[in-house]
Amino acid sequence: MKPHHKKFLVLIVILLFPSILYLFLKSGRHHIKTLEIFGPRELNEKGDTIFHVIPDFEFTNQYGKLISKKDFEGKFFVADFIFTTCKTICPKMSEQMANIQEKVKDMDDVLLISHTVDPEEDSVPVLFDYAKKMGAKEGKWHLVTGDKKRLYDIARHGYLVTAMEGDGGPDDFIHSEKFLLIDKESRIRGFYDGTDPVEVKRLTDEIKVLKFEEQIPRKERR
Please give the chain's pLDDT, 222 residues, in tens.
555 555 544 444 444 444 334 333 434 444 556 899 999 998 888 878 999 999 999 999 999 999 999 999 999 999 999 999 999 999 999 999 999 999 999 999 999 999 999 999 999 999 999 999 999 999 999 999 999 999 999 999 999 999 999 999 999 999 999 999 999 999 999 999 999 999 999 999 999 999 999 887 665 555
**Three-state DSSP state, 146:** coil
Domain coordinates in residue numbering, the chain: 3-30, 49-213
94 CB-near residues (< 8 Å, 6+ apart): 82, 114, 130, 134
Rounded Cα distance, 45 and 57, in Å: 27
Rounded Cα distance, 116 and 122, in Å: 7
Whole-number Cα distances in Å, 129 to 29, 72, 81, 187:
54, 24, 17, 31
State which amino acid sits at residue 211. K
State which amino acid sits at residue 126. V
How many C-beta atoms lie closer than 10 Å to residue 75's C-beta?
Answer: 15
Query: 190 has which bridge partners?
Result: 181
How many C-beta atoms lie closer than 10 Å to residue 176's C-beta?
Answer: 20
pTM value surpassing 0.85: no
Dmax over CA atoms of the chain, in Å, equals 85
CB 114 within 8 A of CB 142: yes
H or E segment at 113?
Answer: strand 110-116
CATH superfamily of 49-213: Glutaredoxin (3.40.30.10)
pLDDT of residue 3: 53
Rounded Cα distance, 46 and 23, in Å: 31
